[in-house]
Structure 1
Amino acid sequence: MQIILIFVALVLLGVVGFYIRQVKRYQQLLLAEQAALRLVLSNVDVSLKLREICRLIEAQIPGAMCSVMLADQDKQTLSPFVSIGLPQDFLAHLHGFPIADKNGACGDAAFHKQPVFVPDLRQDARFQSYLGLADQYGLVACWSQPCMDLQGDILGTFALYFKRVSKPRSDHLRLLEQARELTVLILTREREQTELSTLKRGVEASVNGVVIADAKRPGWPLVYVNPAFEKMTGYAKDEMLGRNCSMLQGADTDPRAIEQIRNRLIKQKDVQTTLKNYRKDGTLFWNDLYIAPVRDSAGELTHFVGIQNDVTERKQQEDELAWHATHDVLTRLPNRMLLEDRLAQAWRSAQRHNESLAVMFLDLDGFKPINDSLGHDVGDSLLQQVAVRLVRLIRDGDTLARFGGDEFVVVLASPVNEADANRIAERLLVAVSEPFTVGERRLTLTASIGLSLSQPDTENPSVLIQQADMAMYKAKRRGNNNYEWFSDAINEKLEHHVMMRHELHTAVTNDEFFLEYQPIYRTNGQVVGAEVLIRWRHPTRGIIPPGEFITLAETTGQIIAVGRWVLEQVCRDIPRLKALGMERVGLNLSPIQLNRQGFFEELLEMTRQYKVLPECIVIELTENVLVSELSNAVQTLEELHDAGFKIALDDFGTGYSSLRYLQTLPIDIIKIDRTFVHASGPSHPYEPIARAMLALAHELGVDAVGEGVETQEHLTFLREHRCGFAQGFYLCRPKLLSVLEQEFSSIA
């Protein structure tokens, strides 16, 4: 009995001891897991974290040697990253280990994304190629767990090696799964922190202002601003956080743009606009702003991110170019383009209110002799002083424009009657007749004014300018310093246009047109091309320049026949021009030609007929044609360009064109207008504009041709600013092709 009791006691002691050991083991395991979690959340290096995981596992599984390998997704390989018990020489052999079917435990596990347990690798086909290596280091067993992120992409493997045959128990499997989860957690957290750090450093280094607003709080207060935003606005981060960007707006910030932003953000949509904002010191800046919604993983809106770019300099340049495109450089008055726009607006307003509007056409008497004898500087000063006097006398809402040369046009907005217009005309005549002082000279001018009044049946407001122009000539015939209203008698001039229309019709068939070519040179003196110019040899009136008949031909539609004749003649002349070194010929197209259905096919057929390569022809268009006919012309221009024809923007700087057109349209060449070529010299107010145009051409990668080169100074200016090509009287006047052939042969 005593022996039995002793035996029972020993058994009980053994059982109790076993459970005590198990409890201690689980306590140790729990402590290890807690330590591992603390480690994951710490800021120590990722390799130290993984090394500690390996150490904890090796402590729980006697004889195990841990290895963490990282995957290269591009190369589809594994390489050792962390290991404690495995020899370094062995690990060196595993760099670039292929992820492949039946390629060891780790390669196979990563390939199939399933755990692989090999109790005895000597008996496993997956290790056939590595038996010698394993035997060299005494490795017998390998258990490998693939580590994958939430998207299922392989991050690497967590593996245990043994120097004896080893098959995992259930507790081993649990430990391995925990180690794998911790490894995945550590690697994904490290990747996310790296990406976040890279993103933050990128945002901090960005030259654009970046802000983040809380979309869940009223007013969308800012929760982040980057240094570029601080620099742009002058506000420190602490001054902006908790507030929104409306504090940058001023009383003159466009309310429509503000409303657009608000409406888009309320709808949780992105928005892009340009706003006039103000810095902390009160200075204005233009802000090109893009705001986008930011959503969490569940798709719920949490923030807005705003990218802000200070485009003040660009906006000022665009405004300056736009101003120059719509205003006369010399007098700072509206030019023809703006005049036509203002006239159209005034005409529509008059129609709505059943009222009349008046147009005055003013021409200076005796200006040409002064300009020719005393020089352009004196003439320019006179024009500037005349403009100052006239602008003081017109009413608010009226428009005074320089029409060209010494001609000015006034649009008297409705309501206006003949008596009102007479009083204003008389005041203008008196103002012009007062002596002018230019330097030490006192000069006297007078003016002649023609007037026209819109009628209920007036269909086109531009007719009013033509009528006022004709009335002005009648005033001149009466002895200058007068004004005259348009009347039916003056309409006789319109009959002249009718006659011209008939004569234009017969001019092509009677071979009255002829062409002259003005050579285009590289600024180093080499001839490279030419521009074609049409002339009319009238049987009774002699040579008629194109300015007198092209507009009429466009109005009547006769430009189609004239243009076809020019194109055919140019195609015939191109072989002779190329023999002179003129590889490309530029010709001006009317918008009527460009937009006519079948024009592209007709031009292409003509080049084929005469065996002319399309790249030999340069299609020249003015800026105003591009703007007014853009929607219709784009397809034709692209077809022409794709076929090989070169596209040139003529008289660049005198019309109105957004820089966007230069980027989106297939422009190969810009021809700088003579106004800016003549701006050479640092004292000239438009010399910076000329330089900016040439710099723009280089930036856009297009050729630049300086027009109107009349002096060596003009040519030198173009050379100094890297303008590649030039044309003008200084180089060569427009001439018949036969004359050019004689001159070029004598030079050769």
Structure 2
Amino acid sequence: MNVSPLPLAVFVVDADGAIINWNKGCEKLAGHTPADIRGSHLDDLIAFDDAANAPLPIEERIDIESTGTLRCMDGRQVPVRLTVARQAVGPGQPVSHTVIVIPRSPTVPSRYALVQDVPVAELIEVLPCLFYVIDQSRRLLLWNHQLEDALERPCEDMPNDDVLSFFNERDRPRIVQSIMEAFEHGASSHEAEMIGKEGKRTALLFHCARTSLGGLPCVFGTGLDISQRKKAEHGLRLRERAIYSSVNAIIITCCVGTENHIEYVNPAFEHITGYTLSEVRGRDPRFLQADGVDVNERQRIREALARRQGVRAVLRNVRKNGEVFWNEMRIDPVANGDGEVTHFVGVLNDITTAKHYERRLRHLAHHDALTGLANRTLLQEKLHLAISEAQRDGGIGALAFLDLDNFKHINDSFGHDAGDAVLREIARRLRDCMRETDTVARVGGDEFVLVIKDQQHVAEIGALLDRIGRSIVMPVPFGRQEIVPGTSIGVALFPRDGDSVDRVMRAADAAMYHAKSLGKNNCQFYSAQLSQVVHQRLLLEASLGRAIRGHELLLYYQPKVDLRSGRMIGAEALVRWNHPEQGLLAPANFIPVAEQTGLIVPLGDWVLCEACAALQQLRGSGPSDFVISVNLAARQLRQREFVAHLAEILKVHEVAPEQIELEVTESQLMDNPAEAMEALTDLKAMGVRLSIDDFGTGYSSLSYLQKFPVDVIKIDRSFLVKSDDDHAVIMRAIIALGHSLKLKVIAEGVETQDQLAFLRDHDCDQIQGNYFSPAVSSVALQDMIARDTRLPS
């Protein structure tokens, strides 16, 4: 008896049961058109027998046989059996299922009969994989359209080529071996990448089995697309290699109840901790923790793990050798497909070096690198606390500013190494004199500050500062030499002199400035009167800066006269300040402030420009050898670009260098002779004239004096004011010394006929002073030159 073929209906549905594809058997069995099936749900066509009790999702019908009724287009209800299988898909692609529907006959046929009745052609075409049959010559006998798509070949080309041509040459020996194994042993499997005619590459898993067609031995098989799996495997290998090669320690633990047991650690973990994987596998990572520290951090980690959440922390662990190290840790959970956390991955970064560096930076942020004392930041914090405690407890505190006297001279004379040695020794002595509760700070190059807390009487503070002063002036050994430092100390009491950090510091600074103005190497306490003096000085500083910018300065000129001819041969430029409130101020009232604040540099530039402008105006009305002399400050002389700057000023005003004479004091030259020699040599090479001012008041070395490239020495006015024999001797000696060195000698401050006669008798070259003319304006000077005003003979 022949059994009628059973139409095999195959649906492809998504995870919710919506139909996304079907074969012709579906249309034939149910009588539905494609339009009827498209967009419908499997439940629209199939009534499952078990749906009345508890409908099962399509996922739960995998690998079980279900029964139901197929609803046909003509109203018939056909009993059917259904088999559900998940289709092979790659990561990230939507899940789909194949549903095979087979009608149930009243008498259930045998399995063999059912197989006999399966419409093979339809089944081959709907397979979710390649299908092929090849003979012993490796030619295709049968295949489905999926193979055509993978090879990018039309049907007529398929039987013509050896199947080995579909693969990369390096894979062909392995494919031949797999085919031979199927022919000889009945079955084989292998993986290979198939290459299409247009270059398309498809990674496939092949399963081969031996059979025969019409007595012809052949092999049939399937090829499942595993491209996505291969890609996922490659990604996993990359991530595994990254974990293995990471410089950070990585721990993977498995959740076992409330415990987390180590399954894997990478080589970086072994290097950082000293433990190997075999030594830690199965242990809880908590065995690494350092006892008694980071309690809160560890509790936070335990709570996060209990909640199956990620966490970050910084804590200390212990290496195998017992060494404690800092590590920054990040722990993240890993869940399975059902969302259940099964593992944790921990990443440990050894930050011990960074922690030590951070601690060092914190120290440097609050301490002076050279002496180790507190710096300005920490000083202000300590002073704020000390002021608050004094206000609360009713005690007395003091802030003392100490400025080393002549520290620049120490650096210039002995070198900066010696200066650093002095600073370190002073810092040590200050620490030794102070209590642990007090603060010693260094806030500048040679400035130290003391915060003295909790004193009962001002006398106690005075006694302490007296001991400190005596300690500082003790000689400091340096090599075979001894350096004797000195200090000026200014003291402010709190809360008497101020109730805030800023006020107390301003008061102490004012007291120190006053101490320096009294001759240095002494200690002064702040007072209200002192505050007024300092306030006036600050006003003067601010006003002077404005005066330089606002054209409040004037330049006067005191003529210089040649004693032999009586003719005017030059003039000294003398600055005046036309103060809007105080009237005309002499240099003595503001030049010291300018030197202390650095304003002497822009002030000096202004004087040079004005003097050159005056020479430019005199051109044509006066002698071509008329010279204007300008006083040069030490700070100007030390400027690296001063020579070039002066050359630019002369060029702008079209003034010859020999018409400018720069006056430098004797003390400036001897403060640092080598530096002065270099600066003067550069100026002399430019062509300007050079003069030593206030000669006789300093301590010139004759060996240096004869080397300095100067043209003139100017006798200080103090020798003319006193007419005793001693000063007369000095005057004669200076004139003789100047002439022996082939220098011109000029006397300043000549006020009387007797002084003039003395200078003429002893062959002095030039004079300046009120006897001939006081300082005059540029207009008056031009008039005197035009009238050829001369000194009476």
- Report the TM-score, using the length of structure 2 for normalisation: 0.43
Higher strand share: 2
- Report the TM-score, using the length of structure 1 for normalisation: 0.46
In our comparison, the structure showing a higher alpha carbon Rg is 2
Higher helix share: 1
